[in-house]
Amino acid sequence: MRAILVDWMSELCYNYSLHRVTFHIAVSILDRYLSQVYTTKRSEFQTLGAVCVLLSTKLCVILFVFIVIHRSQCRLILPH
């Protein structure tokens, strides 16, 4: 089941032109969830995959914004 779900998540990320890192973080979130919760219903797997992709997109956006802000602050401190 996991392999089918990961393949579907990959297609989802591709169709929405998401970055590869977003996909890898989504799979990591999925694996962490599945390692903690042992009773995931088969009918909930696609929803679980979609939520993992959504969470990873939010995380990647936050990381990107932080990096951009940090970079601009460094330019203020150390002008070229």
**Closest CA relative to residue 63, chosen from 24, 30, 37:** 24
Per-residue pLDDT reduced to its tens digit, 44-53: 889 999 999 9
CA triple 62-18-56, angle to 5 deg: 40
Distance CA 50, CA 3 (A): 15
Per-residue pLDDT reduced to its tens digit, 1-38: 889 999 999 999 999 888 899 999 999 999 999 999 98
Average pLDDT on 47-75 reads 73
The alpha carbon torsion through 50, 44, 1, 19 (nearest 10 deg) reads: 10
Cβ-based neighbours of 40, under 8 Å, separated by 6 or more:
33, 34, 48
Band of pLDDT at residue 79, cut at 50, 70 and 90: low
Token duo for residue 16: 């929405």
Q: What is the DSSP letter of 78?
A: S
2-77 CATH pick, 3.30.70.260, 1.10.1740.10, 1.10.472.10, 2.20.28.160 = 1.10.472.10
Higher pLDDT, 71 or 51: 51
Predicted TM-score (pTM) of the model is 0.74
